[in-house]
Amino acid sequence: MVIDKLEHVHRYTAIGEGIAKALKYLQETDLVNIPLGKHVIDGDKLFAIVQEYDTMDAATEQMESHRKYTDVQYVVSESELVGHSLLSTQAVSKEYSNEEDFMLYADKPDFFSRFDAGTFMIFFPSDLHMPCIKLNAPVKVRKVVVKVGM
């Protein structure tokens, strides 16, 4: 897992070509005005999902993981909390769906990080994450999730 500001992307481009392309996309795209929905960057290997949602209570959410894609998430506006744990022996509550590249876990996160506008997080397949969590009260967050094929 990586957490940093967008102005520091040069520190992470050596992780891999897909991550470098995802970070470049975040730097060069007008993320405030891009329409909501899916935006293909490089076929199934690299695409962005632009979303807006109201943050939620952690008690109603579960951690997730992916196998086919690494998530590069960037908050465009507002702030949220994200719960984290490293994948080990957590109880699975929703089995992996190859079609959705998604799996859920019943265990609570080990810790939470504040995810502010201008910040990105990279979640690898071993990084369980619970995004979209409210800080004090629900707010509408605008976020871009770039999916980087493994």
CA atoms within 13 A on the CB side of 98: 0
CA distances from 57 to 20, 45, 60, 111 (A): 33, 32, 6, 15
Q: Which domains does the chain have, with CATH numbers?
A: 2-149 (2.60.120.370)
Q: What is this structure's pTM? A: 0.95
Is the dihedral angle over the CA atoms 66, 69, 70, 71 positive or is it negative? Answer: negative
Q: What is the pLDDT of residues 30-75, one digit of tens each?
A: 999 999 999 999 999 999 999 999 999 999 999 999 999 999 999 9
In which residue are the tokens 């929703």 written?
Answer: 94
The per-residue pLDDT for 147 is 98
The per-residue pLDDT for 150 is 85
Q: Name the residue among 68, 128, 127, 123 with its Cα closest to residue 99.
A: 68
Q: What is the pLDDT of residues 75-107, one digit of tens each?
A: 999 999 999 999 999 999 999 999 999 999 999
The per-residue pLDDT for 22 is 98
The per-residue pLDDT for 29 is 97
State the DSSP code for 21: H
Q: What average pLDDT does range 6-22 have in this prediction? A: 95
The span from the CA of 43 to the CA of 61, in Å, is 30
The span from the CA of 67 to the CA of 97, in Å, is 10
